[in-house]
Chain A
Amino acid sequence: MKKLSIFLFLFFFFLSVSSAYAQDFNFQKAYEDYLFNFNKYRQSYSEYLTAREAHLSYNTLTSKNNAQEKTLKLLQDENEVVRTYLTALRLKLAETTGISNYEENVIYLKLDKEVSWYLNQRDKLMAAINLEDLVALGKESKENYQATDILSYQALGSVLAGKEINFRNRLNEQIILIKEKLGEIRQKGDKQTVKAERWLLETENLLIKSQEKEFEAQQKLAQLKTGDRYKNKTYNEAQYLFEQSHQYLKEASNQLQEIIREIKTND
């Protein structure tokens, strides 16, 4: 009985600690984690370069052993950087409103699959016996990173699209409310509504244009392939389209303010 109570106490203690940790772990913390690991990686890379240089110059057993140690550390830190980056990206997606549940789940699945690949790779690194094994594992990581890169850009695209969708939905809600009010005013007949209604149509067109630009951006990102050399260039082009989409939303917001002013002004 005593053993059981101790067991139960420890079980609930760890459960509460882990759930508190999970609640606290947000995007900001994940991002800090990623930055910390990135700095560690830069340090490992510089140590790797020195060890590599020494091994290529002296080619002794000691230099080889040192090179193996530094390469292992570099690959482990690189692995950690990618995993923490993907985690930060996942949490960024989670806190971005506007992304559909379906799209969000699809990206989550892809991100989780990618993270598990890197976890598996981490185990392989631990099992590597010699420098040649590590070099081969490094090549595997490099090849896989092509896919990670694409997924990262697409996930970032979804974050930007989510922001735009959220703004558009909010503006659309206000358009619906204004339409309802204009209907009420038209029925009462104490103010002309033609001008405001015409302007409202123009505003709706701006929202459509914004959506078109956003689709264009998403399509651009969907076309990314592993063989593409300049993925960041494609991403920048997509980002420019998102900015254009955003500009239309700003114009729509300004027009809505003008419409309100028109409703508040007597004929």
Chain B
Amino acid sequence: MIKIKIGKKFLILFSSIFGGTLIALLAIAIIFGFRQTQVDLLKKEIEKPVTPPEITQEISNPSPYAHDPIILKIEEEIKEIDKKLQETDLKEASLNPPLLEMDIEFKIEE
């Protein structure tokens, strides 16, 4: 009988400690998790979309045409075309013909 009483007390003590720890851990996880999410969100807000750096490898050994205005103009134009080539939407999915339900029928299908 005494043994059972000790067992009950032990069980209550154990379960209260275990339960308390579990709740505390859960609370910590939630608080830190939330904070982390907030931090992540803040980071996302701060971090601006990174535009890939332009590949402007320095020409160590420039020719007499490195600063030629015609060449520079052509270069600029090609870069512009290249940018547009990358951006172009070649699907135009929004303009696919509309899907219409065109079966107008008033006979019961057998």
Q: Is A190 touching B64 in the complex (CB atoms < 8 A)?
A: yes
A123 close to chain B: CB less than 8 A: no
Q: Is the interface of A mostly helix, strand, loop or mixed?
A: helix
Among A1-9, A15-23, A138-146, the stretch that binds chain B is A138-146
**Inter-chain contact count A-B, CB under 8 Å?**
127
Query: Which of A148, A153, A156, A191 sits near B63, CB closer than 8 Å?
Result: A191
B66-110 residues at the A interface, CB under 8 angstroms? 66, 68, 70-71, 74-75, 77-79, 81-82, 84-86, 88, 90-92, 94-98, 100-106, 108
Question: In the complex, which residues 33-62 of chain A have their Cβ closer than 8 Å to any Cβ of chain B?
Answer: 34, 38, 41, 45, 52, 55-56
Give the number of chain B interface residues (Cβ < 8 Å). Answer: 38
Q: Is B61 an interface residue (CB 8 A)?
A: yes
Given known pairs A191-B65, A264-B65, the reply for A145 and B86 (CB within 8 Å) is: no
- The reply to whether A260 and B71 contact each other, CB–CB distance below 8 Å, is yes
Q: Is the CB of B92 within 8 A of A159?
A: yes
Give the size of the chain A interface in residues (CB under 8 angstroms). 64
Chain A: residues with CB nearer than 8 A to chain B?
31, 34, 38, 41, 45, 52, 55-56, 67, 71, 74-75, 78, 81-82, 85, 88-89, 92, 131, 134-135, 138-139, 141-142, 145, 148-149, 152-153, 156, 159-160, 163, 167, 170-171, 174, 177-178, 181, 185, 190-191, 232, 235, 239, 242-243, 246, 249-250, 253-254, 256-257, 260-261, 263-267
